[in-house]
Amino acid sequence: MNVALQDLGSNMAEYKRAMFQDDEAADTAGDGSISPDSVEVGFRKSDGPLLSRLGSRTQLKLVLCAVSLFVVLLLLLSSVIAMGIQYSKDPSHTTCLTEACIIVAGKILEALDREINPCDDFYQYACGGWIKRNPLPDGRSKWSTFNSIWDQNQAIMKHLLENATFNSSSEAERKTQRYYLSCLKEQKIEELGSQPLMELIEKIGGWNITGPWNQSNFMEVLKLVSGTYRASPFFTVFVGADSKSSNSNIIQLDQSGLFLPSRDYYLNKTANEKVLAAYLDYMVELGMLLGGARASTEEQMQQVLDLETELANLTVPQDERRDDEKIYHKLNIAGLQVLAPAIDWLDFISYFLSPLELTEAEPVVVYGREYLQQVSQLINNTDKSVLNNYMIWNLVQKTASSLDQRFEAAQEKLLETLYGTKKSCTPRWQTCISNTDDTLGFALGALFVKATFDRHSKEIAEDMIAEIRTAFEESLDHLDWMDEKTKQAAKEKADSIYDMIGFPEFILDDKELDDVYDGYEVSEDSFFQNMLNFYNFSARFMADQLRKPPNRDQWSMTPQTVNAYYLPTKNGIVFPAGILQAPFYAHNHPKALNFGGIGVVMGHELTHAFDDQGREYDKEGNLRPWWQNSSLEAFKNRTACMTEQYNKYLVNGEHVNGKQTLGENIADNGGLKAAYNAYKVWLKKNGEEKRLPSVDLTSHQLFFLGFAQVWCSVRTPESSHEGLVTDPHSPDKFRVIGTLSNSRDFVEHFGCPVGSLMNPGKHCEVW
């Protein structure tokens, strides 16, 4: 089946998955943790009747947008009339006067800050107007073109699920509606209060914070919390393709167990004093809502926070985990028992993957060997009551957002400190759309695709990928630092990259879609139980994967997602339907914008196959050395230039981590170059494009502007800090400035003098 259900028991589902855009953090509902959820989704304009039936608030936004657009059109048309006289005297300059060209020209001009010299700060030039017109909405930590599309996309999904005439022939789609409606039943959720979670805690054996607990059942609690309810105290376990034998699945373990987004929040206490205080307040408040007395709850939650801080100290930073060859360790369960004896591993993993029968000879890949060894010692040296409190806390924070308003209000206070968000005014339906997308995303995707997606977009995308792949492969011939043997292997790998576009075909087949969610029970009357049922269902799904070979057509992103990714063990790239739309792509936009938008996305994902991590995998998706030493040394020298470059960039006085962001920076730079080279080939075949009205830019300049305006965004200082310590991508501003200042083509077409910000004289180039 071509599916990887979201959150299949592990937040490590995205491990080794290089994505185009970071997941948004505090802007949507998730499963209760503060780690970012995958929420960037979009839509294709659909027929009038669909939009006319959206909510009144959405209608008002659309009316205001329409009025603004009308004013822009009037201004542009007056300019066009004047320009028409001028250009008629010069046939070499022709202007595109279609409705689509006029509209996109208006959007481009609104986003620009024409008082800025492009060579002084191209991001401010491209996005200054957009930033002025887009103040950060209440309840948001970041606002970008991605978020804007997602809001509109949510309105479409809301209409589809609330349609009074909803009558799907697919049981999976009907489950999706039932799940969504159960989330909307706030009165029922308020009536139940904390009871569902209190009963669950009692079922597991109790919690010292709220009442009696069983002091002798450490392993039983660990198995239930991790195996049945998919929390990840201490470590995370998941099933996935073996990096060194990509045609088989294997059990994998990695470090986990921190609630805050990064170890930095625990260890850099001076800089994060307010966050740590807010987190402790949140822990205490939830403990009290579940029946704990204030004094004892404060004391015990401080002990839990101290334990998390010790785990943070053992956790290896992201930027030290970029060499997959070094962190990959294969052993068996018997070896794991010797490594970390505090856990009965055969008992734990057998329960985790029940009903599979396992022995001590079962192979396991461990990505944090020293971490697990030290965690085992920590468990042995920690009081049992603290261990129990910590494990149950992992369950509480994972499930609390599915309870009544008191729990949501407690989380909002923490989010305000952590991400700088003000009190959220997010309608309940938006929260429920996000929850439904997280749980039944492919069934929801089936509804979305059938309502919005133009299959012709898939054909065009396939052609563009082929053009960009060719451009990338041809550029390899011009590399003077790579030997011929490695160069040939690189071409073969690029040629072998497997692309998946739009959506997995199975979602449009009712039987196949129903089979995927078969066994997942959903009731319209019990939102909390629906969530628990999904955790249990996803556990069975994961166990079922171990004895099967990996499916090359399997997706780990839903069709409605506005993002893309590269998976090295498959040597595959995925472009969901959500990203095949403006501003990334529109069939009636100039090719310069399409190549600068979706074209760069395609080049970006393709280049991930050759970044500092992707380059370690061969064309079959296996982790093995295939580079000659001379080329490898040259590669490292070139990437060192890029690391140094991005290290110098500052956000609110904090440096970007050039090592942590290296892979994405390589992909940004290589993707831009491949897309631009492909666009030059297109121009050579088809000739110069018509200019956009009032946009005094050549086709080449428009390409670079189209790339830059994708990244227009605003963000709170707190969210910016979180991004610097957790995100493998550079901040949006420096994804533009860093990439374009390395592009000799950009410098040439904008005439930037040496020494300017956009032409520093030294250009870091890998691919």
Closest CA to 659 of 642, 672, 637: 642
Q: State how far the Cα of 16 lies from the Cα of 622, in Å rounded to an integer.
A: 13
Which residue is listed with tokens 């009903």? 355
560-589 in b/e burial notation, b at 16+ Cβ within 10 A? bbbbbbbbbbbbbbbbbbbbbbbbbbbeeb
The helices-and-strands tally (H runs, E runs) of the chain is 31, 12
How far is C-alpha 288 from the geometric centre of its chain's CA atoms? 33
- Cis peptide, bond prior to residue 583, ω within 30 of zero: yes
* Beta strands 142-144 and 713-715, pairing class: antiparallel
Q: State how far the Cα of 368 lies from the Cα of 737, in Å rounded to an integer.
A: 35
> What is the sign of the dihedral through the CA atoms of 272, 368, 21 and 516?
negative
Q: State how far the Cα of 547 lies from the Cα of 392, in Å rounded to an integer.
A: 31
How far is C-alpha 382 from the geometric centre of its chain's CA atoms? 35
Q: State how far the Cα of 235 lies from the Cα of 372, in Å rounded to an integer.
A: 8
Q: State how far the Cα of 311 lies from the Cα of 378, in Å rounded to an integer.
A: 8
Q: How far is CA 463 from CA 102, 456, 584, 711, in A?
A: 26, 11, 15, 25
Is residue 605 flagged as an active site residue?
yes
Q: State how far the Cα of 648 lies from the Cα of 394, in Å rounded to an integer.
A: 37
Which amino acid is present at 32? G
Q: Which of 254, 264, 467, 668 is catalytic?
A: 668
- Judged by DSSP in three states, 756 sits in strand
Which residue is listed with tokens 């004895």? 547
Spell out where 111-255 has E strands: 142-144, 235-242, 245-255
Is residue 492 flagged as an active site residue?
no
Q: State how far the Cα of 651 lies from the Cα of 389, in Å rounded to an integer.
A: 38
Instruction: Give me the half-sphere count of Cα atoms (radius 13 Å) on the Cβ side of residue 92.
Output: 1
Asked whether the beta carbons of 475 and 674 are under 8 A apart, the reply is: yes
Q: How far is CA 639 from CA 10, 71, 482, 666, 689, in A?
A: 32, 48, 14, 8, 36
Per-residue HEC secondary structure of 610-663 comes to: CCCCHHHECCCCCECCCCCHHHHHHHHHHHHHHHHHHHCCEECCEECCCCCCHH
Q: Which of 605, 616, 718, 732 is catalytic?
A: 605
Asked whether the beta carbons of 478 and 685 are under 8 A apart, the reply is: no
Q: State how far the Cα of 414 lies from the Cα of 424, in Å rounded to an integer.
A: 12
Active site residues: 605, 668
